Structure 1
Amino acid sequence: MKGGYSYSFSWRQISLALVTLVIFTTLLWTWETNPIIVMTLRSAQEWYHLPSEFPVEAPIESVGTPEMVNGVETSITPITENGTKFQLDTEGVAALDSIPAESPKTQYNQNVIPPSRSKGTQTPEKGVEKSTIPITENGTKLQLDTKGVAAVDSVPAESPETQYNQNFMSSSRNKVCNHAKGKWVADSRRPLYSGFSCKQWLSIMWSCRMTQRPDFSFEGYRWQPENCDMQEFERSAFLRKMQDKTIAFIGDSLGRQQFQSLMCMATGGEANPEVENVGWQYGLVKPRGAIRPDGWAYRFPKTNTTILYYWSASLCDLQPLNISDKQTNVAMHLDRPPAFMSRFLHRFDVLVLNTGHHWNRGKLNANRWVMHVNGKPNEDRNIAEIANAKNLTIYSVVRWLDLQLVLHPRLKAFFRTISPRHFFNGDWNTGGSCDNTIPLTNGSEVTQEGSLDPIIEGALKGTKIKILDITALSQLRDEAHMSRYTFRGTLNSSDCLHWCLPGIPDTWNELLVAQI
């Protein structure tokens, strides 16, 4: 009996196991063949959104349902790389989705990606195996690390949008643009006009192409400012920018060179019969017996743009003490601006001032200029010193002009720093020369922070007048002066003050236009 009971119990267990196996097999077969149950359970799982190994930056609503490609279910878990949405296709290759409309939050998160992540590399966490699913974007092979960030196998070919965003963020971190710092670079597209053809606006004495000068390598360079995106000068764009506006140069003969340079640049160095001489509207007519008028003014009728120059070497108000006497002394009012500037300032939209090289005793005596302060002849010996008189004039005209800018808010005023001389082995009257013809023998780059003209720089501090700082960049170009060449022949003396045109004053104007 005892042994039969044990035998019967064993068969019961076997029967129960067989029944259980049959039921389990039936359920398993039903699971595999019934899509309704599968989809129901999958939907329930998606409601939970279990933590994924790869973080998804897109909103949860953007995650769609799986697609079927050739009977194979594809994953559409979004993966982002530099803000671009991808899909993994059936081969594990990232298929580029349309550019997503990023939310402000997503854009912010992308901007604060740590440096290690922005470089495309990231150290995997301990105990987590790094995924090696191949992904390509713009032909570049990538890998997904444990955080779902694409690690760059080689330098990626960035999309235009990515490049724009990176350039924008990079530019925001750059220093403030300083047109005075930078370097000279060779440019086969220079010069901007021909010295042969710009005869209508360019004095023959400054057109080196019309002289016997044998070399013109100085023409083939342009100035590249540091941290500045300076556009190429284009005459039609300039005239459109200056439509219904007047730009005025007031200064010495270097200011006249800058004026002639801009006229050649604005016309492309070509004769233009449509340009009107409107000097008479500013009283710029040649007096009887004079060699030339006190200035010139020309208008481009299509854009109603006027470019003018007025000769005022000292930026002082000059008044003859005896109008009826041609040999009379002239009151040089150090604390008054030129009468021309006071009279026509309201008609200017851009004003460029300069002074410097006429501040020497020989020039003052030759012109019979007598210093006046407060409307009376100067009796202060300190002010009588040329350097002090010059400083007083510069600070006085700057102070006056700065106050006038309140009354003329549309006016943009510039003060150009002094143009350097390059007399070697003497001065202008003692055999000095500038015979070098090799460009940039003393370097091509300006790196210092301050201006080489501390007087102008100091006078403009705290004012609304901008500095047009050309001294240091021009200092590097000693080969670009007139030197000993003229249209009549070669001289024994040299002009190492004025520049060949086309030449360095063109660069001054490029910097000016970039800041208007």
Structure 2
Amino acid sequence: MVTNFLQKYQLQNHQLILPKKQFITYALYALVALAFLHYLLFYPALASGKSVVVAQVQEEVAAVVSARVDAPEQLLPLPPPPSPNQGDKALGNRQGRALGFPEEVPAPPPCDYSDGEWAPEARPPLYNGTSCGTIKDGQNCMAHGRPDTGYLYWRWRPRGCDLPAFSPEAFLRWLRNKHLAFVGDSLARNQAESLLCLLASRSPPELAYRDGEENRFRRFVFREFNATVSVFWSPFLVKVAEKAEHAGVRHNNVFLDAFDERWMSQLGALDVAVLSVGHWFLIPGVYHDGGRVVACHDCADLNHTETDFFGVFRDAIHRTLAEVTRRHSDGAGKKKVVALTTFSPAHFEGDWDKTGACPKKRPYRAGEKGLGYTESEMRKTVVEAVRSGADAAGAGSGLRFAALDVTALANLRPDGHPGPYMNKDPFGGGGAGDRRVQNDCVHWCMPGPVDTFNEILLQTVLR
């Protein structure tokens, strides 16, 4: 079409044979044709939506030509072609690149997920209490008979940006030939099992390894993607001799100058390590450093210097990140992401073993529930440690530290805990009344708010 146009209407001595208005009109037709040809050749990823795009281009052509007739002295630019990932907006730009779209597509700026509100969501979760086989029994609220289901239909909405819905396909493609590990306490395990259930909605995981009581050490593989997800129990990240109430030992002995080699020795094989600790530091503990006891927490029965747990928590986090950096620099230098999930608040409103310990049935509204001092300090410690760790590692190290800042969004979800439904049919078919029954107001129902932690994790690894 362009060749015929030039043969029929040649330029002579840089002057147009045609009247200026008519030439520009024909030129516009030629430019539209070129733009459309360029779109078909260079954006095949959207071929499935071709008919819609063709209709849109035709409408835009008509609008441009009409505008040209009305304004003959003004050359209007053609509309830009759609971006390569426009057909999959739910994935976001970062996920679009991860799925093989062109690198030149600009990524959106980092999103602050710590500030926002919970909004109603009609879309059901990706899994339920029976479709996923890796839910810990105590967090399977649906299977245990929780009668209300409203806690399932909320979505975290950051104020200044968008948090895309979780895409199992995008995560698994990114995780292909990689190894991701969750390291920490039972909330780390809660988040790990949430991710396994989310991914299982696309590809079933296989249990490849299991060791320790309560599934403390496990490894799952997604054969289709050659992807691995592991769970390491390490409630302090550093070395610990755990308390044993049955043996009369009610304090954890924490060794701040030694590391938990059960997970740290595997660091070189990991592509992503998600660290999540906090609640165990609130438990009575004796702290060792340099071969001696330096302090303890909640230890009136012992002849040691009493201290709060904030300083010990800070020390353990900073030492761990420094050791991760040291071992990374001593190794092969493969790219690695180390993400730290910030403190996840509990919501006890009464005795842990009495009905109504966490009775809420909906999220708090924005501004209705502020962070307590403990939650604020624990969160701040992680955020600051990530910042200083990133500075120490350096931009060219291939090691990236990131904070999964979930404290605020978790604080607003008092309705998302198992409560009495940590056990099946806790009331035996009768009313709750004033009965004594165990309650879990710390961990999260699955599905539930913990799935949002992994929505943020997905955006973090794709960044």
The answer to whether residue 12 in structure 2 is matched with residue 86 in structure 1 is: no
Q: Structure 1: which 5+ residue stretches go unaligned? A: 1-42, 50-62, 67-72, 88-93, 103-134, 152-157, 280-284
The two structures have a TM-score, normalised by structure 2, of 0.68
Conserved in 2, the CA contact under 8 Å of 1:335 and 1:397? no
Matches of 1:75 and 1:412, distance apart in 2: 59
Given candidates 290, 293, 303, the residue that maps to 1:377 is 293
Matches of 2:84 and 2:196, distance apart in 1: 36
Conserved in 1, the CA contact under 8 Å of 2:64 and 2:76? no
The aligned counterpart of 2:126 is 192
The aligned counterpart of 1:473 is 409
The aligned counterpart of 1:503 is 448
| C-alpha displacement of 1:203 | 1.6
Match of 1:223, as an amino acid? Answer: W
Given candidates 464, 485, 488, the residue that maps to 2:425 is 488
| C-alpha displacement of 1:182 | 4.3
Q: Flag the 1:141–1:301 CA change in 2: closer, same or farther, 3 A.
A: same
Match of 2:112, as an amino acid? Answer: N
The aligned counterpart of 1:275 is 206
The answer to whether residue 331 in structure 2 is matched with residue 394 in structure 1 is: no
Matches of 2:277 and 2:325, distance apart in 1: 17
Using the TM superposition, name which of 298-307 and 135-144 deviates more: 135-144
| C-alpha displacement of 1:185 | 3.8
Given candidates 304, 308, 313, the residue that maps to 2:235 is 313
Question: Relative contact order (C-alpha < 8 Å, sep 6+): which is higher?
Answer: 2
The answer to whether residue 279 in structure 2 is matched with residue 354 in structure 1 is: no
Matches of 1:320 and 1:219, distance apart in 2: 35
**Secondary structure, counterpart of 1:501 in structure 2:** coil
The two structures have a TM-score, normalised by structure 1, of 0.62
Matches of 1:295 and 1:317, distance apart in 2: 16
Counting only pairs closer than 5 Å after superposition, residues 294-305 of structure 1 correspond to structure 2 as 294-305=216-227
Matches of 1:392 and 1:98, distance apart in 2: 62
Q: How many aligned positions are there?
A: 379
**Secondary structure, counterpart of 1:193 in structure 2:** coil
The aligned counterpart of 1:31 is none
Structure with the higher helix share, 1 or 2: 2
| C-alpha displacement of 1:146 | 8.5
Conserved in 1, the CA contact under 8 Å of 2:271 and 2:336? yes
**Secondary structure, counterpart of 2:361 in structure 1:** coil
Q: Flag the 1:101–1:276 CA change in 2: closer, same or farther, 3 A.
A: closer
The answer to whether residue 175 in structure 2 is matched with residue 242 in structure 1 is: yes
Q: Flag the 1:175–1:259 CA change in 2: closer, same or farther, 3 A.
A: closer
Match of 1:495, as an amino acid? Answer: D
Matches of 2:23 and 2:368, distance apart in 1: 54
Matches of 2:189 and 2:241, distance apart in 1: 22
**Secondary structure, counterpart of 2:441 in structure 1:** strand
Match of 1:500, as an amino acid? Answer: C
**Secondary structure, counterpart of 2:191 in structure 1:** helix
Counting only pairs closer than 5 Å after superposition, residues 386-465 of structure 1 correspond to structure 2 as 386-406=309-329, 407=331, 408-424=333-349, 426=350, 428=352, 433-442=357-366, 452=376, 453-464=379-390, 465=401
Conserved in 2, the CA contact under 8 Å of 1:318 and 1:333? yes
Matches of 2:368 and 2:153, distance apart in 1: 13
Q: Structure 2: which 5+ residue stretches go unaligned? A: 1-9, 39-60, 94-104, 297-303, 391-400, 428-435
The answer to whether residue 166 in structure 2 is matched with residue 233 in structure 1 is: yes
| C-alpha displacement of 1:244 | 2.0
| C-alpha displacement of 1:409 | 3.1
Conserved in 2, the CA contact under 8 Å of 1:176 and 1:227? no
Query: What is the RMSD of the two structures over their aligned residues, measured on CA atoms?
Result: 4.3
| C-alpha displacement of 1:218 | 1.8
Q: Flag the 1:160–1:484 CA change in 2: closer, same or farther, 3 A.
A: farther
Counting only pairs closer than 5 Å after superposition, residues 16-27 of structure 1 correspond to structure 2 as none
Conserved in 1, the CA contact under 8 Å of 2:140 and 2:446? yes
The answer to whether residue 154 in structure 2 is matched with residue 209 in structure 1 is: no
Using the TM superposition, name which of 398-407 and 459-468 deviates more: 398-407
| C-alpha displacement of 1:403 | 2.7
The aligned counterpart of 1:131 is none
Give the share of equivalent positions with the same residue, in percent: 25
| C-alpha displacement of 1:314 | 1.9
Q: Flag the 1:437–1:293 CA change in 2: closer, same or farther, 3 A.
A: closer
Match of 1:78, as an amino acid? Answer: I
Counting only pairs closer than 5 Å after superposition, residues 21-420 of structure 1 correspond to structure 2 as 47=13, 65-66=17-18, 75-78=21-24, 86=28, 96-99=32-35, 136-137=62-63, 148=74, 159=79, 161=81, 176-198=110-132, 200-225=133-158, 231-268=164-201, 272=204, 275-279=206-210, 285-286=211-212, 291-319=213-241, 331-360=253-282, 363-364=283-284, 369-379=285-295, 384-406=307-329, 407=331, 408-420=333-345
| C-alpha displacement of 1:209 | 0.7
| C-alpha displacement of 1:345 | 1.1
Matches of 1:173 and 1:444, distance apart in 2: 34
Conserved in 2, the CA contact under 8 Å of 1:251 and 1:313? yes
